[in-house]
Structures are given as structure tokens and as C-alpha cells.
């Protein structure tokens, strides 16, 4: 017997009611948040599958030498069109425009194997647990730097003098170069300080001789580059010392005829280390009581550039001016509990360095630009490390500048661990040094104009 329409409706109705109850669960309508979480989870799992276990077994986090991690670089694309910096095609390459790349072949030396280093830079030996900060190599965007060859540099320095003149960050770079060069000298006793002075923090200068090459690598402490002296007669009692902005530091009589000069300054040019401590600015016989630190710094850089232009023979001496290396204090300054000990990787994007750090760099560039506009030939190479170093918040001594861990509120986020960032500065120094030496036969007075 066939069913009437009313009977069919009665049978279908429970089915639709059940379907409505089932839909209340919304199994097919997940929220955007759930979908996002699922997507992120899948991505993380995939990343683990792509992990380079060979590098991880060695204790490293990433390896750009692994084909699976070639993308993890800060330098960006462009490898295929890079030229070699020391070739003619590399003449126009800006070696300071680039990024940091992970390189398992680094560091170039181990601090425990270098006796020419102050204890404050021995972060690993002082207890720093990670070694990631030693594994980054600077890679210019459009050219390749020559691999640092300590033997070649020592040969090029044979019978010559290389002098660093500046503050303790310059000393940081100087000790880095000592370690880089000494790494290829079997007999470490053939490297010695000519006056028998040990490497400890002190005022004055240190001259290390590489006996087998009859060359010296020297450091002269001159944090302002210009002369700091007693105040003139009749000065106010609150004036303890003055910076003579129109005179070079007294040490210039010692390093003036060196074959290679590397200047730096900046970290002492602040209110705390000058006016607050009773150090005022002097031009001629007049003490400028109202002069701002920024204006005094500008005037001092003019004096340095004028000194180089007037007193340095470009046919004998190659001059470098290394720009300001930024500090990376977080949550305060060096005197108010600033920290950096939690940093283990470089900046992924733009630098977070405070704006006042860039003012030092801008002052130098303004002075050099003014000289260029006056058609003066600049007798120096600019070692422009400001931008590249601004990304390396991970490279400082932080709490590891003492054998015992320094207090949280007494961190050093100005100086750099060795091996580390200053090694990259010296690799650039090496490249520019070789470039200049190779160009000299055809044009003895050539300089990279800045």
C-alpha cells in the first residue's frame, strides 16, 4: 500500500530536526583564530622537518652553508651578481652596504688561544654560554670581501707601523687585530710589547712588535683625539680641565709618521664625561663656557681632518677614520641599569639604536661633506661601521666582562666580545688596505673619497 503525503512528512520531519541539532555543533565553521593556530602549527612542524641536524649536532643554531638554510640571511639576494672587491669590477662597490650572514667557519680565532687580549673582552671565558655572536660574517650586498689572510697582511706590513688612535672601543679593535694576526705566528714569543708593558687597562700607549716581520701594531689612548690639558691661568675654579679643540692630542708626535693610521672617537663626547666632570672646551686661549658638547665635537673633527690634510703624507701613510660604533643599552643607560645580556641574535630588520647614537655619525659626515664641497681631496678612507654595528645588539660584553658575572645593573653594552664584531671591522680594514696597496703603483696618491 502506498503511503499518503501526511505519512511521508511525518517520517522526514525527524530527519531534519536531527540535522538541525547536528549543525549546532558548527564543526564545519571553525573560527579564524582556530584556522590561524592550525596554520602556524603546521608551519612550525615543517620547519623542524627542515632543520639542519648536521649543524645542530655541532651546537649551532643555523647554517647558511646548508642548502636548506640558504634563505636565513640578513644580506638579501644578489649573490649571482656579486663581484670580487679586489678586482677592477669591484672598484665601485660599497662594502658597508650589506648584511650579516651565518658562517660555520667563524670565528677566525679563539680567545683562549690569544694572549694579546684584555680580560674584559673574553666573554666566552668569563662565562657567556652561547657562541652565536662569533658566527656572523659581514657580507656586502654587491661584492665579496677577500677572506682575511693574516700572513698576507703581515707581509704587507713588513717593516711598517700600524697605529690605532682613539678611545677604548679603538682598543677593542686593536686587540682584535692582534689576535687575528698572531693566529698564524707559531712562536708567540716573537710578538712582544716593546716596553715590556702588559695588556691591561691603563693610560698611555702600547706597541706590539711582530719580530719576524719587523712591524708594529700600536695603540694610543686619545679618547677625544684633541688635546686635554690643564685650564689656563685665571680660569674659574669649576674648570678642572679643558679640551683644546684646535690642537691634536699630545700623542700625535709619536704616531704621526706611521704607515697606517686608524682613528676613532665619540664615546667620550657626552655631557657626563665632559662638562659634568669639570672638563670644558677651549679654542685658542678662550674657554667656551656655553659651548654645547655637539658643537665641540664638530669642531674637534674639523681639527682632525685639517691635521690629516696638513701633516700626513698620503704617499707614505694610509689613513682610516672609523665611525661611531653604537651602544645597545635597553631599559636605561650605562649608569642607570641598562642591559643587553639577553641578546643572542642580530637585529632582523631596522636597528633599534637610539637616535642620539646617530648624531655622532652625522657630525663626521657633515665635516667630510663640507670639505668635499670645497673641492678638497680627502686624504682618508672612511671605515663606516655605524650601520652594520647597529644591528649587532648581541655582540657586547654585557655581564661577561669580569671573571665573575657582573651585576645586572652594571652591564657593558658599549664594548664588544672577542672574537666578535670588531673582527668584521678589521676584515673591512684589511680589504681597503689591500685595495689601496694594489692601486698605489698606478696612482700613488689615490684614496677612496668619502
**What are the catalytic residues?**
168, 412, 415
Chain-centroid distance, C-alpha 103: 17
- CA dist 358 and 396 (Å) reads 18
> In this structure, what are the phi and psi dihedrals at residue 416, rounded to the nearest 5 degrees?
-120, 145
User: How many Cα atoms occupy the beta-carbon half-sphere of 269 within 13 Å?
Assistant: 30
Largest CA distance in the chain: 130
By the 10 Å C-beta count (0-12 exposed, 13-18 middle, 19+ buried), 186 is classed as: exposed
Judge contact between 172 and 219, C-beta under 8 A.
Answer: no
Instruction: Please name which of 279, 286, 278, 290 lies closest in space to residue 246, comparing C-alpha atoms.
Output: 286
CB 72, CB 62: distance < 8 Å: yes
Distance CA 296, CA 244 (A): 10
Amino acid at each position: 500500500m502506498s503511503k499518503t503525503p501526511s505519512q511521508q512528512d511525518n517520517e522526514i520531519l525527524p530527519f531534519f530536526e536531527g540535522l538541525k541539532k547536528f549543525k549546532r555543533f558548527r564543526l564545519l565553521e571553525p573560527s579564524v583564530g582556530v584556522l590561524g593556530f592550525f596554520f602556524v602549527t603546521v608551519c612550525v612542524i615543517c620547519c623542524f622537518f627542515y632543520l639542519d641536524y648536521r649543524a645542530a649536532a655541532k651546537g649551532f643554531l643555523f647554517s647558511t652553508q646548508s642548502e636548506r638554510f640558504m634563505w636565513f640571511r640578513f644580506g638579501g639576494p644578489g649573490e649571482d651578481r656579486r663581484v670580487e672587491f679586489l678586482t677592477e669590477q669591484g672598484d665601485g662597490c660599497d662594502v658597508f652596504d650589506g648584511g650579516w650572514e651565518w658562517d660555520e667557519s667563524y670565528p677566525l680565532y679563539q680567545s683562549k688561544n690569544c694572549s694579546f687580549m684584555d680580560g674584559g673582552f673574553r666573554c666566552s671565558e668569563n662565562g657567556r654560554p652561547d657562541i652565536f655572536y662569533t658566527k656572523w660574517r659581514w657580507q656586502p650586498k654587491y661584492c665579496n670581501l677577500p677572506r682575511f689572510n693574516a700572513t698576507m697582511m703581515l707581509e704587507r706590513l713588513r717593516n711598517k707601523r700600524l697605529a690605532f688612535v682613539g678611545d677604548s672601543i679603538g682598543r677593542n679593535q686593536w686587540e682584535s687585530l692582534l689576535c687575528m694576526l698572531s693566529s698564524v705566528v707559531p712562536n708567540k714569543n716573537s710578538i712582544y710589547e716593546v716596553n715590556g708593558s702588559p695588556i691591561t687597562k691603563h693610560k698611555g700607549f702600547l706597541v706590539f712588535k711582530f719580530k719576524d716581520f719587523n712591524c708594529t701594531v700600536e695603540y694610543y689612548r686619545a679618547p677625544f683625539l684633541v688635546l686635554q690639558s690643564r685650564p689656563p691661568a685665571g680660569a674659574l675654579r669649576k674648570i678642572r680641565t679643558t679640551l683644546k679643540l684646535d690642537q691634536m692630542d699630545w700623542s700625535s708626535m709619536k704616531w704621526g709618521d706611521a704607515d697606517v693610521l686608524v682613528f676613532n672617537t665619540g664615546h667620550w663626547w657626552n655631557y657626563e664625561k665632559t662638562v659634568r666632570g669639570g672638563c670644558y672646551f677651549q679654542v685658542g686661549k678662550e674657554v667656551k663656557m656655553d659651548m654645547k658638547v655637539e658643537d665641540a665635537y664638530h669642531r674637534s673633527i674639523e681639527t682632525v681632518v685639517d691635521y690629516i690634510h696638513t701633516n700626513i703624507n698620503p704617499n707614505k701613510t694610509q689613513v682610516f677614520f672609523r665611525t661611531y660604533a653604537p651602544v645597545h643599552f635597553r631599559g636605561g643607560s650605562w649608569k642607570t641599569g641598562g642591559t643587553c645580556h639577553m641578546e643572542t641574535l642580530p637585529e632582523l630588520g631596522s636597528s633599534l639604536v637610539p637616535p642620539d647614537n646617530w648624531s655622532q655619525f652625522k657630525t663626521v659626515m657633515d665635516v667630510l661633506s663640507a670639505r668635499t664641497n670645497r673641492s678638497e681631496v680627502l686624504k682618508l678612507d672612511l671605515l663606516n661601521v655605524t650601520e652594520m654595528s647597529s644591528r649587532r645588539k648581541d655582540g657586547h660584553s654585557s655581564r661577561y666582562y669580569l671573571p665573575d658575572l657582573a651585576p645586572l645593573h652594571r652591564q657593558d653594552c658599549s664594548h664588544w666580545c672577542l672574537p666578535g664584531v670588531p673582527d668584521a671591522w678589521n676584515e673591512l680594514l684589511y680589504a681597503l688596505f689591500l685595495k689601496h696597496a694594489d692601486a698605489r703603483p698606478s696612482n700613488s696618491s689615490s684614496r677612496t673619497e668619502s
